[in-house]
Structure 1
Amino acid sequence: MSGNYEKNKEEELGELVRFHFSYIGGVERAEKNITLLNLQKIADAFQVNVHELFHYSKYVKAENNDKEKLLNEINEKVRPMKSSDLKKVNLLLSELFDN
């Protein structure tokens, strides 16, 4: 991203969550640590759950390979399952591919 575009986006997000744009930029570049509370504020600003902030590959226009796309699709399907159902899926996968 160009410098001005990046700064404008950081300023927009900063205004939404009431953080200085330099803090947003520092977090984005991994120069500053973020607290869970501040992470929740950012998720609230985007109207998403915190875990969705870590699924950046869904939102980035970079070339995702087929494997990453499939893993994301599988993750979205199994995430809402109960633990007992996830154990069954794990057992099935083990039976299919561990032998």
Structure 2
Amino acid sequence: MTDLVLKLGERLRYIRKEQNLSQEQLGELAGLHTNYIGQVERGEKNVTIESLEKIAAGLNVSMEQLFRYIDPMEREDELSQINELLATRSMQDKAMVLKMIKDVFDWEASKYK
């Protein structure tokens, strides 16, 4: 399969696990067979838009959220690199990084007062 299909499968697995759902539970919520969910997550199936919409509904996320951080084009800007690093991190890690960034900006601003 293509790199995009593999990245999408990884993204789906990440969101599912972040929500503490098993493949069976997601299959039930999405109205799809558990085996199909596994095949999509492993990048073995080229998922249809209709099935992707069902999976998004089962995960209670938008289609945009499913594709967030999946970009087949290589980008080298710093923001893209930060997004890539944070894409698979927990919400706690993301909150910690945000706090660190704010602290650095606050510290920098205080230097010039």
User: Which gives a bigger RCO, structure 1 or 2 (Cα 8 Å, sep 6+)?
Assistant: 2
Q: TM bucket by the smaller chain?
A: 0.3 to 0.5
* CA radius of gyration, larger in: 1
TM-score by length of 1: 0.48
TM-score by length of 2: 0.42
